[in-house]
Amino acid sequence: MIPLKLMKNKINFLSSFSLIEVLIFITILSIFFVAAASVTIGVLRDIKINEHKILATRYASELIEWMSGEKEKGWIEFTGSFSNGTNCFSGLNWNDLTTPCDAISSTIFTRSADLTKNPANDQVDVVVEVSWNELGKDNSVQSTRLFKLWE
Amino acid sequence: MKKKAYTLIEMVVVIAVIGLILPVLFNIIFVIVNQQIKVMRLSEVKRQGDFAFNTIENVIRNYGYKIYSDSGLTDEKCIVSSPSYSNDGSNFYVKDKFISTFQFYTTPDRIASLGADLKTTYLTNNNVDVSDFVISCQWISSYSAPLITVSFKVTYQNTSGRTDETASMTYQTSIRPRGN
């Protein structure tokens, strides 16, 4: 026959978790949540960077296509529209090429082009760079094109 | 035997923990899939737009010669007497240096090309919509081909109407045909 007091203690002991069990459970749960959160943040950041890279590539191509059109309108007008060096193209026009660059309208991207006329003035080397800041880190996409008078 | 079964409070605790973890997991999966779909839409728009744009640019540059507003090639445009002409593509016929003609137009959400063999080829698929398609030409001089400008907008088909699910890109350039 077990005394009543001892029996109550035994029942209490069996029906509750010990401190170490609770701690282990909370630790495992915390590790899971922290791991899930960090993986999610990493994946979302990579997806966002990819999205911005696609857009940045498009903005770089857009400028090169526009310049190609300007070149087709007339070589002399085209080469006379800019001077060698880095020029800003927040819009598709020759009006405001001064640095530092403003962002392209309603976007986070800044677009600049390094334009170099060769001495004979029959070639223009264009290096377009679209850059943006992503969570404190600078990213950029480059695109190059060589325009020639006789092509 | 009785002690081996779970008590009500244990079951409640387990269900509560599962109820806490599952929504978090589903939420994470939902957000990631949603963002991936957004990137997929954007890349599809770019892929379709780039292909259509490069095709139009290369064909006009390599084969274009003269512009007409009719398939019978009687009304030539972008010459001294008619220096500029703009159209949605339906009446914009480009003749190559032989007698063949080709045409780019929209039908109404896809860009199509019609070649000399009268076969219609679609340059974009049904996943994207093409709008604001304008093709124009301008006479520059009697010694060179007219300057042809093409512009259009490609948008991912958005059935839900939500603006954050829309992806669109604009294309524009000017081309000087080399066909002559």
Stretch B64-88: mean pLDDT? 88
The answer, yes or no, to whether ipTM is higher than 0.85 is: no
Query: Which of B18, B35, B170 is the mutation pick for testing A, counting most A CBs within 10 A?
Result: B35
Q: What pLDDT score was predicted for residue A8?
A: 54
Tens-binned pLDDT, residue by residue, of chain A (151 aa)? 555 555 555 555 556 778 888 899 889 988 988 998 898 889 899 999 999 999 999 999 999 999 998 998 888 888 888 888 898 998 888 887 777 888 888 899 999 999 999 878 789 999 999 999 988 889 999 999 999 887 7
- Domain encompassing residue A56: 19-148
* Contact residues, B window 13-72, toward A, CB-based 8 Å cutoff: 17, 21, 24-25, 28, 31-32, 35-36, 38-39, 42-43, 46, 50, 53
Q: In this complex, do B38 and A43 lie within 8 Å of one another by their Cβ atoms?
A: no
Asked if residue B38 has pLDDT above 60, the reply is yes
DSSP string, A96-148: --PSSPPBPTTSS-EEEEEEEE-TTSSEEEEEEEEEEEETTEEEEEEEEEEEE
Q: What pLDDT score was predicted for residue A33?
A: 85
Q: Do B51 and B123 form a contact (C-beta atoms < 8 A)? A: yes
DSSP H helical ranges for B64-116: none
The verdict on residue A40 lying in a domain is yes
Give the integer Cα–Cα distance in Å for A81 and A87. 11
Judge residue A107's burial from the number of C-beta atoms within 10 Å of its C-beta, 0-12 exposed, 13-18 middle, 19 or more buried.
middle
Q: Distance (Å) from the C-alpha of residue B17 to the closest C-alpha of chain A?
A: 9
Q: What pLDDT score was predicted for residue A40?
A: 86
Weakest mean pLDDT among B22-26, B31-35, B116-120: B116-120
Judge residue B140's burial from the number of C-beta atoms within 10 Å of its C-beta, 0-12 exposed, 13-18 middle, 19 or more buried.
middle
Q: What pLDDT score was predicted for residue A92?
A: 87
The verdict on residue A11 lying in a domain is no
Domain count along chain A: 1
The verdict on residue A4 lying in a domain is no
The verdict on residue A81 lying in a domain is yes
Q: Distance (Å) from the C-alpha of residue A53 to the closest C-alpha of chain B?
A: 10
Domain range summary for chain B, segments of one domain joined by +: 9-175
Q: In this complex, do B28 and A29 lie within 8 Å of one another by their Cβ atoms?
A: no
Does the CA dihedral A126-B47-B159-B30 come out positive or negative? negative
The verdict on residue A142 lying in a domain is yes
The 10s digit of each residue's pLDDT in B40-69 is 999 999 999 999 999 999 999 888 888 999
DSSP string, B35-84: HHHHHHHHHHHHHHHHHHHHHHHHHHHHH--EEESSTTS-SEESBTTB-E
Q: What pLDDT score was predicted for residue A119?
A: 79
Please state, for a pLDDT cut of 90, what percent of chain B lies above it.
Answer: 33
pTM of the model as a whole: 0.82
Q: What pLDDT score was predicted for residue A74?
A: 86
Query: Which of A22, A43, A72, A151 is the mutation pick for testing B, counting most B CBs within 10 A?
Result: A72
Write the single-letter amino acid at B176.
R
Q: Provide the β-strand partners of residue B154.
A: B130, B169
Q: In chain A, whose CA is at the least distance from the CA of B17? A: A29
Weakest mean pLDDT among A11-20, A112-121, B96-105, B118-127: A11-20
Asked if residue B179 has pLDDT above 80, the reply is no
Q: In chain B, whose CA is at the least distance from the CA of A39? A: B28
A-chain residues near B42 (CB < 8 A): 51, 54-55
A-chain residues near B173 (CB < 8 A): 65-66, 68-69
Given the structure tokens 């409640």, which residue do they identify? B12
Q: In this complex, do A69 and B17 lie within 8 Å of one another by their Cβ atoms?
A: no
Q: What pLDDT score was predicted for residue B24?
A: 84
Q: How many residue pairs from chains A and B have C-beta atoms closer than 8 A?
A: 61
First-to-last C-alpha distance (Å) of chain A: 107
